[in-house]
Structure 1
């Protein structure tokens, strides 16, 4: 279940599990956000469904806040327990991260076993939001985990 935004206008700290449909219902208020969401769905179809890769997704960033026009949606995928081939496919996507950001407005980072933990990283408010909202950049915010997903 996705909780309402807190008094800071952010998703409360923690990892909140939800379906893609529930996320869209909760955060696609208005045409701009709907188009941003559709870009994420296109990215997933074009690069994850096409590669038959369905890892748990973690969605984060200002899309999950009261910011009216977030610039992108942050995405990391958990590649633990995936085959070497699947990990290489996900890593290859990362190598063109800037292209995907420009084309789909998705800020993509794979969570590779034994490397940087982007699931933890995305739970920090970060410098831009901290400055805008008068918070400490190490304050915590919530992210969304989508464990099982398919796209029609």
Structure 2
């Protein structure tokens, strides 16, 4: 008689959300948490609206990757416990990006980033761009809870080898 044992371990790269006193919903613990788009879908595309936002994130991520972008950082109420976030906030690492291949939408910030929100259901900033309101780069600004000013986490999505983007046909 032979016995076989299998160890099936499913590990998410995204940590459990935590309570931040005085914040209206659960947030990621402080730090930059690396995850794939599939991980993001599993953790946050949990209803029809969140899936619609996720689809916009995937579209934008594919366009950024085509221009040479290596990393997108995901923030906002989308990566929180809020049931119906209004949108998502993201910033992208401009290192290695070919300006000639970059979709001009990623540099349109007029009217509250209306063009970006219409195209992607979220908004994007270069990670090194200064957020004038607070005098920090968007990468640093995104790691602060807007209600408390306390540190919170964000998601880092490496684009070059992301399995979901690799399965898609790129233009």
Uncovered stretches (5+) of structure 2, i.e. residues with no partner = 1-12, 21-25, 131-136
Residue 58 of structure 2 is aligned to residue 41 of structure 1 = yes
Whichever structure has more helix as a proportion of its residues is: 1
Deviation of residue 107 (structure 1)?
1.2
> With structure 2 as the length reference, what TM-score do the two structures score?
0.70
Measured in 1, the distance between the counterparts of 2:79 and 2:100 equals: 27
Deviation of residue 70 (structure 1)?
0.5
Q: 1:56 to 1:30 in 2, by over 3 A?
A: same
Aligned ranges 1:27-106 → 2 under 5 Å: 27-45=44-62, 47-49=63-65, 51-80=66-95, 82=96, 85-86=98-99, 89=102, 93-95=106-108, 97-106=113-122
Measured in 1, the distance between the counterparts of 2:102 and 2:108 equals: 10
CA contact (8 A) 1:91 1:110 kept: no
Measured in 1, the distance between the counterparts of 2:121 and 2:138 equals: 18
Deviation of residue 90 (structure 1)?
6.3
**Count of residues in Structure 1 that have an aligned counterpart in Structure 2:** 137
Measured in 1, the distance between the counterparts of 2:141 and 2:84 equals: 22
Residue 131 of structure 2 is aligned to residue 110 of structure 1 = no
Specify the structure having the higher radius of gyration (Cα): 2
Deviation of residue 60 (structure 1)?
0.5
> With structure 1 as the length reference, what TM-score do the two structures score?
0.78
